[in-house]
A and B are shown apart, each in its own frame.
Chain A
């Protein structure tokens, strides 16, 4: 087979069906809805954060609360603002996603997936090293101080165990079924460019 026959063969596939207009309309409408919802959720989250931050600043400014009391709320708000700004930054960066070549976009995606894998690993470690022992310590403290009966203790332990198991399972599922295959695929693509 001659090389230019490949082109002739390829060009012979001209009779492709046109795009189904009904499907296109549905797709456009569903994407528009998704976009509106995501903007609404983002705006709502921002307003809530703003309201809580204003409330905290007002409480501290009028000395209704002291830093020594309010530091956990302050810390939580800082973490939430950091998360919120990260989501907004992600949306802005995504806008210029396709301006770069596929190689550059693959590099960006790869570093994002690697970051997500690190975060899920940290979450797993925190759950195993910190949360499980803390739950056990709290449980033994409550039982020793007779603040909880053995039956209540067992229920508490079972409830905590099921929540932690669901958490660990979800994180493991995300890692093994989503992130690791994605990482392998991106590495493979990047290597083969």
Chain B
């Protein structure tokens, strides 16, 4: 593939899917880390353009690249673990969670507290991907994904409800 052709396809992908990249970054990183993660996703997306052979749907392919990047993003994961440890320490000391009032912020905070693969699965589900598509991206069966999504949704609902009650 020639460079101008790669550039055209890449720009199209970015234009169409940037909100998805942004949401995945919000679910995986915090603060400046999010920009770093988006940068990493864009680089991998650029590199993956010549490899796209149209065997799977374009969006499935892009989800695969983006989520692969997020799942193997080691620096963000280290910081997340440190942040969770710090929050646990603070909770023990102060017996209360930091106040977050915005429901959207609460949602992203709750997603960030999930295990990494669950974070990927729920962001794809909330984006409207079918269970079969998520299974194709992740490499799992449709049934297993359905069961998992049901459990994650329950967990998220409970956590958001609990946070809202604590904060009110």
Contacts and interface: CB of A to CB of B under 8 A. Distances in A.
Given A12-B104, A31-B47, A192-B117, A99 B55 contact: yes
Interface residues of A, number: 43
B153 A3 contact: yes
Interface string B55-79: 1100001001101100110100110
Interface string B36-50: 000100110011101
B157 A6 contact: yes
A146 interface: no
A24 B42 contact: yes
A27 B64 contact: no
A18 B18 contact: yes
Interface in B112-168: 115-118, 120, 126-127, 136-140, 153, 156-157, 160-161, 164
B160 A1 contact: yes
Nearest to A14: B19
Given A3-B157, A103-B139, A103-B140, A98 B116 contact: no
A63 interface: no
Contacts of B153: 3, 6
Interface in A78-111: 94-106, 109
Interface in B59-115: 61, 64-65, 67-68, 71-72, 74, 77-78, 103-104, 107, 115
A175 B78 CA distance: 17
Task: Classify the secondary structure of B's interface with A.
Answer: helix
A185 B22 CA distance: 23
A16 B48 contact: no
A193 interface: yes
B138 A28 contact: no
A193 B138 contact: yes
Contacts of A14: 19
A61 interface: no
A130 interface: no
Contact of A1 (B39, B118, B127, B157): B157
Contacts of B56: 99
Contacts of A171: none
A193 B55 CA distance: 23
B32 interface: no
Contact of A32 (B3, B18, B55, B74): B3
A186 interface: yes
A21 B56 CA distance: 28
Interface in A1-30: 1-3, 6-7, 9-14, 16-19, 23-24, 27-28
B140 A189 contact: no
Nearest to B164: A1
Given A102-B68, A192-B115, 20 more contacts: A6-B126, A6-B157, A10-B107, A10-B126, A13-B23, A13-B26, A23-B39, A27-B43, A31-B43, A95-B51, A98-B48, A99-B55, A99-B56, A102-B138, A103-B139, A104-B139, A106-B71, A181-B74, A193-B138, A193-B140
Nearest 4 interchain pairs by C-beta: A103-B139, A101-B139, A10-B126, A16-B22
